[in-house]
A and B are shown apart, each in its own frame.
Chain A
Amino acid sequence: DTGVSQDPRHKITKRGQNVTFRCDPISEHNRLYWYRQTLGQGPEFLTYFQNEAQLEKSRLLSDRFSAERPKGSFSTLEIQRTEQGDSAMYLCASSSRSSEISWSADTQYFGPGTRLTVL
């Protein structure tokens, strides 16, 4: 069990450019989540997948953002036409159903994050 990995760890880009981040969840975890964390704040939910299906999207996820999980394993988050307000840490988490109580009780394991700076 190697944990959740994210690539790249840091990305600096110019306003207007497109960027793509990758997340590799813990193997056999069928749920994958994306969060965004800005300076001095807690993470905010963006979207989540169960296997390859994207089941929920936050209003924070504007039409410039798109996420995929094509084979139910790794996921990508793409931001088109980046803006300075997109500068943040993008966190990925994964989970599997370990509790009979409900899915809401499962533990989400977080990756190290990708720090995006838009100049």
Chain B
Amino acid sequence: AQSVTQLDSQVPVFEEAPVELRCNYSSSVSVYLFWYVQYPNQGLQLLLKYLSGSTLVKGINGFEAEFNKSQTSFHLRKPSVHISDTAEYFCAVRSGGYNKLIFGAGTRLAVHP
């Protein structure tokens, strides 16, 4: 069975500091991995996704993530955060042949001035 663990429920960080949001997944077959962001009272917006090929994936708003198959991880990083990055971030996994996304519980990123 597929599952996703987001290791930090909340991450406080100062503006312009780097940040890493951690995600580990469990799946016995090949996977596709996604990071979504959710701003208050809004739906989810795709930040980036890993399908195949290069393990370093670049997304919108300066975010990037690295797929590590041996550690079953897909951590999200940004070298310098802004106040506007304050939001909930969700990691999700989907295996080949399956239709639904399996989401982690989310990490709340709080950027302070």
**Taking CB as reference atom, which chain A residue is nearest B50?**
A105
* A105 x B105 contact (CB < 8 A): no
Q: Quick one: which of A20-79 are within 8 Å of B by CB?
A: 31, 33, 35, 40-45, 48, 55-56, 58
Query: What's the count of A-B pairs with C-beta under 8 Å?
Result: 68
CB nearest to B103 among chain A residues: A42
Residues from chain A with Cβ under 8 Å of B52 in the complex: 101
Give chain A's interface residue range (CB within 8 Å of chain B): 20 to 34
Kindly provide the distance from the CB of B55 to the nearest chain A CB, expressed in whole angstroms.
Answer: 16
Q: Is B7 an interface residue (CB 8 A)?
A: no
The docked-state distance in angstroms from the alpha carbon of A73 to that of B96 is 26
Point out the residues of chain B lying under 8 angstroms from A107, CB to CB: 34, 46, 49
Q: Of A4, A42, A112, which one neighbours B90 at CB under 8 angstroms?
A: A42
B96 touches A104 (CB 8 A): yes
Asked whether A105 and B99 contact (CB < 8 A) given A91-B44, A110-B44, A112-B42, the answer is: no
Given contacts A104-B94, A104-B95, whether A45 and B49 have CB atoms under 8 Å apart is no
Give the complex CA separation of A107 and B51 in angstroms.
11
| Contact yes or no, B101 A102, CB < 8 A | no
The answer on a CB contact under 8 Å between B100 and A111 is: no
- The answer to whether A42 and B104 have CB atoms under 8 Å apart is yes
Contact B100 A110 (CB under 8 A): no
Those of B47-101 within 8 Å (CB) of chain A: 49, 51-52, 90, 92, 94-101
B104 — nearest CB in chain A belongs to which residue? Answer: A42
Once A48-B100, A56-B100, A104-B94 are accepted as A-B contacts, the answer to whether A4 and B43 lie under 8 Å apart by CB is: yes
Given contacts A35-B101, A58-B100, 17 further A-B contacts (CB under 8 A): A42-B92, A42-B106, A43-B101, A45-B100, A45-B102, A48-B99, A48-B100, A56-B100, A101-B32, A101-B96, A104-B32, A104-B94, A104-B99, A105-B49, A105-B94, A107-B34, A113-B42
